[in-house]
Amino acid sequence: MADTENIFEELPDMDTFGGRFSRALDACDLDARGFARRIGVRTATVRAWETDRTMPNFHRLTKIAGLLGVSIAWLLHGVGQGPNVSGAEAESPEHVGEQLAKLKLLHAETGQLISRLQGDLDRMAAAGR
């Protein structure tokens, strides 16, 4: 982004907070466990941020943005300074494979959640609610 360009003039990154956070971790070549240790939280907390189940508080958000080299505005709204990922690196087989593995994990978690919700609905229907 040019120095004179207003962040409101650029197209926002339409991904979710978790998606942008996950991409920034990848760009820094960090995994959830290593990043969790770096900022003093549990690995499950970082995974919850990656999957949009929770959001970090503002104090942690400031630290996260600094460690990942991105702006808070980019993490929250998709405008501003995002991670530096070269085109070749973003299209490498390793990077695509990592993204596919993450997507498969999210798919499995989504399937488990759907099954659990369906079971809850079935129990409610059987109880006559």
How much is the mean pLDDT over the chain?
83
pLDDT confidence of 82, banded at 50, 70, 90? confident
More confident residue, 74 or 89: 74
CB atoms within 10 A of CB 103: 10
121 — pLDDT class (breaks 50, 70, 90): very high
For the stretch 13-42, pLDDT in tens is: 678 899 899 999 988 888 999 999 999 999
Stretch 106-111: mean pLDDT:
85
pLDDT tier, 107 (very low <50, low <70, confident <90, very high otherwise): confident
More confident residue, 73 or 9: 73
Angle in degrees, 0-180, between the axes of helices 17-27 and 93-126, rounded to the nearest 10: 150
Residue 75 structure tokens: 């993490």
Number of continuous H segments (helices) and E segments (strands) in the chain: 7, 0
Asked if the model's pLDDT at residue 12 lies above 70, the reply is yes
Contacts of 72 (CB under 8 A, 6+ apart): 61, 62, 65, 80
More confident residue, 96 or 121: 121
Q: Is the pTM of this model over 0.85?
A: no
